[in-house]
Amino acid sequence: MQVYKKILVAMDCSPVDDAIIEHVTALALQNNAEVCLLHVVHSHTLDQDRALRERAEACLQSRCETLKARNIMARILIRSGEPDKEILQEIEGKDYDLVAMATHGHRFIADILFGSVSRTIKHKISIPLLLIGPKR
């Protein structure tokens, strides 16, 4: 039985992405699922946007090639804007079965002070959300 057919992976192109990619790879193989790797560039200038977009492109392309080498259908998507809004917009009207994200492992007080994209997402979507913390 195929539980997940299409998985959206929101990535921030940092070391915490390793944890979520490991889990998504296993899920995609078990379910013959397609994986979409999404990164949202959050910048304040055009130069910053260009530099962050290039970095994201390299990061996501590398991950996408790794997934494809495992015979997983994968694609990348890079957007600009507020991460939570862009992730929600990508989910809306699409046929994703699962959203997967890595968390930075903030504790309760840090979440309150810094906010959390994952917290916003979990309260606004109706499909499953897989949150994986960094390895300690």
Please write down the HEC assignment for all residues of 119-134: HHHHHHCCCCEEEECC
pLDDT at 41 (0 to 100): 93
Rounded CA-CA distance 45/69 in Å is 36
Rounded CA-CA distance 103/93 in Å is 25
- Cβ(106)–Cβ(114) below 8 Å: yes
If you classify domain 6-132 with CATH, what class do you get? alpha beta
- Residue 1 banded pLDDT, cuts 50, 70, 90: low
pTM of the model: 0.87
pLDDT at 104 (0 to 100): 64
Mean pLDDT computed over 11-22: 87
All residues at 6 or more sequence positions from 94 whose CB lies less than 8 Å from its CB, including other chains: 6, 8
pLDDT digits (tens, 9 = 90+) for 85-136: 999 999 998 899 999 988 765 555 444 434 477 777 877 888 999 888 766 5
pLDDT tops 90 at residue 71? yes
